[in-house]
Chains A and B, each alone.
Chain A
Amino acid sequence: MKRLAAVVALLGLATATAACSGGSTNSSGGSGGGGGLFTTIDVLKPGLDASGPANPWAPKGNSFLGYNAMKLGWIKNHLTDPNQFYPGIAASWEIAPDNSSITLHIQPNAKWSDGKPVTADDVKLSLGLASTTGSTAFAVTPGAAGVASDVQVVDQKTVKVSQDMKNPSMKFARGIMDNWVVPAHVWNSLLPADFWDKLKAARETGADADKAREEILAIGQKVLAFAPPKDVSAGPFTLERVNPGEALLVKNKNFYNAANVAPAQVKLLNYNGNEQIWNYLSAGKLDQAGFTAMPSDIMTRIKNAPGSNVIRGFSPVAVGMAFNQSKKPYDNVHVRRGLAYLIDRDQVTKVASPEGGTPALTTSGIHQKPAQEWIGSELASLNPYKHDVAKAEEEFKAAGLKKTGGKWTLADGSPWKVSMRAPATFSDWISAEENIKSQLIAGGVDAEVVTVADYPVYLEELDAGKYDVGFWLMALGPAPYDIFQRLYGAANGWTNVAGKVAHSAPGKGGNWMGSAEEIDVEGVGKINPGELTAKLNAATPEQAKPIMAQLAKTANQDLPAIQLWDYVNTQFTNTSRFTGWPEQDSDLLRLNAGVWIQLGLIKAKQ
């Protein structure tokens, strides 16, 4: 979910109202690396909150990923392997061959900005804090997959974390590495002395466990609200000050790789909408910015700014047009296929995401870039659903729809209007839906676009089954389970608790997509896609490949969603002040500039 939240936040930048930045910064000073001021934005945090604490768990806090907020390691988002990382607080790690444990070796020279060493106790406390707010390896749900059962301090620089093997997950190591580390001497008052016993009790069932979970939830609320009196960081920077216009961070001389950190200061500018980021980039103000949806003309303007540089790479996410099959006529596969033929995905992508997406080659549930690696030659055998009005008509006729006066109606002659929803802040989705609307109307299918106030409301109402058709992020790599759980997971009725897969009826338990529980797939036979997806959770890559092929065929034939475009990671950098940027297509592009800096990539321009 954390990955999803990040992707969502990235997309959520397409928002409306305006604000402006202000304030000034002294660009002199600093030592080591010889650089000056590095200016950027935090793509995960629109709207700086000057009163926010330096707390990485706080939703509106002033801890910035990779700058003053450190994780054990930085996830590479490899095309197919979820367990590859760059070092963070952990300099190295060993994952047991059966995934039963991960042993973390803390950076030998790591110190907090106040001079105290980073120790195994800091890591243990941080993992405890993660359990009060977290999910994945730190879920307190009884029997959840891939949960840490034990955190053991081996020595002052080594921690061993074991997985509960009753319900193992391939992503256990990823769940551990993807966690914040904070200083125990600042944060230890938050966890009671008997916390670890409480946590153990919370993962059982019964009244005592319920009580323990409640207590942990209460601690979690304190963790979210905690405001350390001073930012003590083990990262390359510490927070100096923040105002509504900008956050200023200064170099942490105690950072373990400080000699290779070029900038003396980092300034994160405030923004509330895409257009502010466009302005910053057009003016050459930013040294780096993550992906922002923008029209081609704006991209041209940005490219013309002095020193402007665009780097593109893989983004492990696609967008699909998903159906609520509990509503007619979307319960009929021929209707979904007809719509797939009727929509020209090339045109949709050209209008909606010319700089940030490539039209999906087919609809497989997997991003086109890793699809070849996962399903190989099977990819070519999938139906590409090329734009074809005649085929769309055939499908609609097969579904029993009727065409009267050039307009398609439902079988009983009642009107049919494809009502598409999107969050008001996602400009590329609205643009896409507007284009699809025009295409559908041209094909005789009445359509409308309705916006919803914001993304949380959108998800809530989608979940409640209020919409017929909505846009849905899918193909969230690289873990195979993550890829298909978007199509055959909780939103489509299959919940995976304690390794047991349960199916809710359409319209119940968050099942808004409402696919059939069993699907007869040509060349495969009858399968239960939810159970197959759950198997991916514990499968090795070799075991996963045939399952992925079956699921891709299912998604292609049954179309719970039409894959529209695969996102492209478009990054903006400026070569006027700094050099040493990641190469085109580098996997580092899936991490932020704070991580590039701490890894020693960025150099001041001489």
Chain B
Amino acid sequence: MSVLLESSSTSAAMRRNFWAGVWRVMKRKPSRMVGAVLVLGFVFMGVFGPMFYPAQLPLDPTRITAPPSWEHWLGTDDQGRDVIALVVTGSRYVLLAALVTAVITVVVGTGIGLFSGFKRGRWDNVLMRLTDMKLTIPGLPLLLVLSTVWKFSSAIQMGLVLGLLGWGGVARAVRSQTLSLRERGFIEAARGLGLPTRHIVGKELLPSMAPYIAMNMLIAVTGGVYAQVGLFFLGVLPYESNNWGQMLNTAVFRSGALQVPSALGFLIGPLLAILLLTLAIVLVVDAMDEIFNPRLREE
């Protein structure tokens, strides 16, 4: 009983210390706080943002691609709808698709990388050849072909395809990391003790790589945003109105945002959203690096 109590109080203390450490790291650079606030802001925007607007945004044909004004801070689009409202309502698709992309990239990539690196031998051969094959699949042409079959009107569908196209790099990197870790003393000891593979991979290897995986996940979110926005911008995916990429496409190719200043707000809206999201993730990754890597902490 006393052992149990002791251990639970130890882990509670560790948790307390961890969060205190996180808070210290975050406080050290105000930019990290800004990043965290922005990330939370985007999460809020994606989850609750569309609820603040009607399902069908009101349009005003008398104010088509109007310049910014008090009423419309970033102007209006080619149907006379408020650009900010479009950015907010369009965020859910982009962020959800990016999240799905990141989860699939990280789960599949890490799973294959860990297993392959730890098991080595035949499994490693098979899985790495599979990864190599995946890495050779040209993503854009494949998406072009798929777009003739799928509408990609669901963000989950979009994220699924991008995720399944993006896990190769993570798998390779995680495998290399695993190969290095498995030769370290504590893994050797665990193996010597005859602990099961599940325990060694899950309890010994995975925690050591958690920061790396978490950072990869955040970076995959930005990758997912870039990929889908790029595809919609190029117009290779079927039309979906509530989407930052589609907004950029419409702004440039239908409203002439690169030619006339009145449509510039229409272009700036989604660009600003992408820029802020990327910045937020970079700032949070910077904080995470220090949180998970004690050597970087300036105690």
Contact = CB atoms under 8 A, between A and B. Distances in A.
Interface size class of B (residues with CB under 8 A): 20 to 34
A278 to B, nearest CB: 6
Contacts of B80: 351
B260 A301 contact: yes
Contacts of A427: 253-254
B259 A298 contact: yes
Contacts of B61: 347, 350-351, 435
B16 to A, nearest CB: 52
A295 B78 contact: yes
Contacts of A435: 59, 61, 79
Interface string B240-278: 010000000100111110111011000000000000000
Nearest to B147: A453
Interface stretch (B7-15, B87-95, B231-239): B231-239
Given A295-B64, A297-B260, A457 B239 contact: no
A297 B263 contact: yes
A16 B78 contact: no
B65 interface: yes
A294 interface: yes
Nearest to B66: A297
A450 B238 contact: yes
B105 to A, nearest CB: 27
A430 interface: yes
B259 A282 contact: yes
Contacts of A441: 55-56
Contacts of B59: 435, 438
B238 A438 contact: no
A274 B254 CA distance: 9
B151 interface: yes
A296 interface: yes
B148 A16 contact: no
A424 interface: yes
B86 to A, nearest CB: 12
A482 B238 CA distance: 32
B8 to A, nearest CB: 53
B64 A351 contact: yes
A167 interface: no
Contacts of A294: 256
A272 B98 CA distance: 31
A275 B254 CA distance: 8
B235 A424 contact: yes
B79 A438 contact: yes
A351 B78 contact: yes
Interface in A524-559: none
A15 B254 CA distance: 9
A347 B63 CA distance: 12
B64 A296 contact: yes
Interface in A127-151: none
A431 interface: yes
Nearest to A297: B260
A424 B80 CA distance: 21
Nearest to B263: A297
Interface string A284-315: 00000000001111101100000000000000
Nearest to A430: B239
A442 B54 CA distance: 11
Nearest to A439: B59
Interface string B50-73: 000001100101001100000000
Interface in A416-443: 422, 424-425, 427, 430-431, 434-435, 438, 441-442
A17 interface: yes
Interface in B117-162: 147-148, 151, 153
Given A297-B65, A450-B151, A275 B252 contact: yes
Given A275-B256, A451-B239, A297 B79 contact: no
Given A295-B78, A295-B254, A275 B259 contact: yes
Contacts of B239: 422, 424, 430, 449-451
Nearest to A452: B238
Contacts of A297: 65, 255-256, 259-260, 262-263
Given A438-B79, A449-B241, A457-B148, A295 B56 contact: no
A273 B234 CA distance: 12
A301 B234 CA distance: 25
B280 to A, nearest CB: 30
Contacts of A452: 238
**Interface-central residue, A278, A427, A441, by most chain B CB under 10 Å:** A427
A441 B58 CA distance: 11
B201 to A, nearest CB: 45
A377 interface: no
Interface in A226-278: 273-275, 278
A11 to B, nearest CB: 14
Contact of A16 (B64, B234, B256, B260): B234
A295 B65 contact: yes
A279 interface: yes
B148 A453 contact: yes
A434 B79 contact: yes
Interface of B: 55-56, 59, 61, 64-65, 78-80, 147-148, 151, 153, 234-235, 238-239, 241, 249, 252-256, 258-260, 262-263
Given A347-B61, A431-B79, 16 more contacts: A15-B253, A275-B252, A275-B253, A275-B256, A295-B65, A295-B254, A295-B255, A295-B256, A298-B259, A351-B80, A434-B79, A435-B61, A435-B79, A441-B56, A450-B238, A452-B238
Closest 3 CB pairs of A and B: A16-B235, A451-B239, A297-B260
